[in-house]
Amino acid sequence: MGAGAPALAPAANGHPDLSRYYTQKIKWGACKGSTEAMADATGHAKDVRCGHVTVPLDYAKPSTGTVDVAMIRMRSSASGKPRGSLLLNFGGPGGPGVSALAGSQKEFGFLSKGYDVVSFDPRGVGLSDPVSCGDADGDTEPVAGEGEEPAAVLAELRKVAKECEAKSGPVLPYMGTVNVSRDLDVMRQALGDKKLNYLGFSYGTRLGAVYAAQFPKKVGRMVLDGVDTLTEPVAEQSRVTAEGRQTALDNFLTWCTGNAGCVFGTDARGARQGMVQLIQDLDTMPLRSMSGEEFTGQDVVGVLGQALYSRQAWPALSQALGALLADGDPRALIRMSGGLAGGVGGGTGAVRGTGAVGEETPMDNMSAALMAVNCADDPDRPDAARIEKEVGKLQREFEEASPVFGKSMLMPVLLCFGRPPGTSFIREDVRDVKTPKLLLVGTRGDPATPYRWTEETARRLGPQAVVLDNKGDGHTGYLGSKCVQDKVDGFLLYGETPKSGSSCAAEADSAQ
């Protein structure tokens, strides 16, 4: 995927002819499968319809092929004509937006008073030609074991890269935020909107920032919540996220051991050691279901990575861990993850409650898409000699950052090896945007996107970026803070822009 400027208009100034994509209309119809079931469960099935837009795999060479991007729309409840569409991206990268909106219509009901609320599965995700690595990424150790040479690890990583290519089909080389941003503009046009109104969470903030740089004249009201970095390489992003998740886990264990009935007892330090031991024991001797499926320590890590994003989930997490430790029963933990298969982590995360997997989606799709996008977005690609030399050092750094999350967060860093270098567009060109005001929400206790990334991204985007400082905990602010929600709603619905530097106080602890 090349860097550089995208084709902004069909057949203009020598650009490839994109008119067939920019003139298409969306045919909305009933949602199917698990998406339909979720919509029915929320009681809004009649107001929710699904459709798709067709986009080129390669915007520079549209004849290469196409991909259908799945979409979902919750119709506005406005008595008059809505002000247009509001597109949501729930994060990841790799988070499915269709099932996420189907299952969270209540949370965005107030915004539907002014907008048709729309979400989508980005290319390679969910119902949009999902990528997959089969079981390869889950079986590969990211570091050399005792007596194993780093060269053997590189051989395994090359094998995984080939397996991903074989299982993913033609979309894999065209993953990445620059292309998804172009898809977003096709969706905007197909929805009939002159400007893109947008709410992006976590990784969705990277997508929004890229869109603002590519299509500044098409930006309407845009909110970026849980702001991602635009400059740090994949390795640093993953290390910082591992560190943040470890801090969130330590905070959870301190809370747990301070409450009666905590399965880890009353000593927070002992609880931290006990958690590490639990994961090691389950990796060595996994639990096995009647059907033969295994539940490993890394599966626990995957559930923790999602559950710790929301302080409101702590009581349920404590009970689920109690069932696992006391009875060897992982079912409550599995339910907390939405049934999503384990696999590796390493993105900035998706908003809680967005882990649903459709019948047509490979179980490893989210982790495979996450790796594909992060690799495509990062131009750094160390050669084999450097990887061999540094793999031990990286292992130590990630284990120091987090004895629990370090291993899983290192995996996607190493799995970029064997893939082509990514674009330099995001790092070099997403800056000093000429758009209307953008609202950036940063949460001080965010375990996935540290507050300093909000400040850094705001400086890069320029004076158009207005920062809202959320003093609370959890990943992103909109779904966890009434104050943040009110200010975001006011901005998106009524154009009320908070003063830069405005803050929302931490709300009362609801994890009782």
Block residue for tokens 């409840």? 77
Question: For all residues of the chain together, what is the average pLDDT?
Answer: 86
Give strand pairing partners of 52.
Answer: 70
Neighbours of 462 (CB within 10 A): 13
Contact status, residue 429 vs residue 230, Cβ threshold 8 Å = no
Q: Which CATH class is domain 19-131+172-231+424-504?
A: alpha beta
User: Quick one: pLDDT at residue 159?
Assistant: 84
User: Quick one: pLDDT at residue 20?
Assistant: 96
Domain ranges for the chain, please list them: 19-131+172-231+424-504, 233-414
Highest mean pLDDT among 10-19, 126-135, 156-165, 175-184: 175-184
What pLDDT, in 10s, does the model give residues 188-208?
A: 999 999 999 999 999 999 999
What pLDDT, in 10s, does the model give residues 92-106?
A: 899 999 999 999 999
Mean pLDDT across the stretch 80-103?
A: 91
User: Quick one: pLDDT at residue 198?
Assistant: 98
User: Quick one: pLDDT at residue 372?
Assistant: 93
Model pTM above 0.85: yes
53 has pLDDT over 60: yes
395 has pLDDT over 70: yes
Mean pLDDT across the stretch 161-187?
A: 94
User: Quick one: pLDDT at residue 137?
Assistant: 45
Q: Which helix (H) or strand (E) holds 206?
A: helix 203-214
Who has greater pLDDT, 6 or 499? Answer: 499
Return the closest-CA partner of residue 223 out of 453, 460, 472, 477: 477
pLDDT range class, residue 5, cuts 50, 70, 90: very low
Rounded distance between C-alpha atoms, residue 375 and residue 377, angstroms: 5
C-alpha dist (Å) from residue 447 to 207, 224, 226, 350, 379? 20, 17, 10, 12, 25
Which residue stretches of 348-497 are H helix?
A: 365-376, 384-401, 406-414, 425-429, 451-461, 482-494
Burial class (CB in 10 A: 0-12, 13-18, 19+), 467: buried
301 has pLDDT over 70: yes
Q: Give me 203's structure tokens.
A: 């990784």
DSSP structural state of residue 29: B
73 has pLDDT over 60: yes
4 has pLDDT over 50: no
Return the closest-CA partner of residue 398 out of 246, 227, 232, 233: 246
Q: What is the DSSP string of 100-155?
A: HHHT-TGGGTTGGGTSEEEEE--TTSTTSS----TTHHHH--SS--TT--HHHHHH
Rounded distance between C-alpha atoms, residue 341 and residue 498, angstroms: 40
DSSP structural state of residue 4: S
pLDDT range class, residue 125, cuts 50, 70, 90: very high
Most distant CA pair in the chain, distance: 70
For 316-337, give one letter per residue: b (16+ CB within 10 A) or e: bbbebbbebeeeeebebbbebb
* Paired sense of beta strands 349-350 and 91-92, if any: antiparallel
Contact status, residue 443 vs residue 311, Cβ threshold 8 Å = no
Q: Which helix (H) or strand (E) holds 223?
A: strand 219-225
Contact status, residue 227 vs residue 454, Cβ threshold 8 Å = yes
Q: For the chain, give percent helix, strand, coil, nearest 5.
A: 45, 15, 40
2 has pLDDT over 70: no
DSSP structural state of residue 347: S
pLDDT range class, residue 8, cuts 50, 70, 90: very low
User: Quick one: pLDDT at residue 138?
Assistant: 47
From the centroid of its chain, how far is CA 184? Answer: 16
Residue 342: partners with Cβ closer than 8 Å, 6 or more residues away: 138, 296, 298, 299, 301, 302
User: Quick one: pLDDT at residue 14?
Assistant: 63
145 has pLDDT over 80: no
- Amino acid letter, 377: D
User: Quick one: pLDDT at residue 353?
Assistant: 45
Mean pLDDT across the stretch 503-509?
A: 81
pLDDT range class, residue 367, cuts 50, 70, 90: confident
**Percent of the chain scoring above 90 in pLDDT:** 57
User: Quick one: pLDDT at residue 346?
Assistant: 45
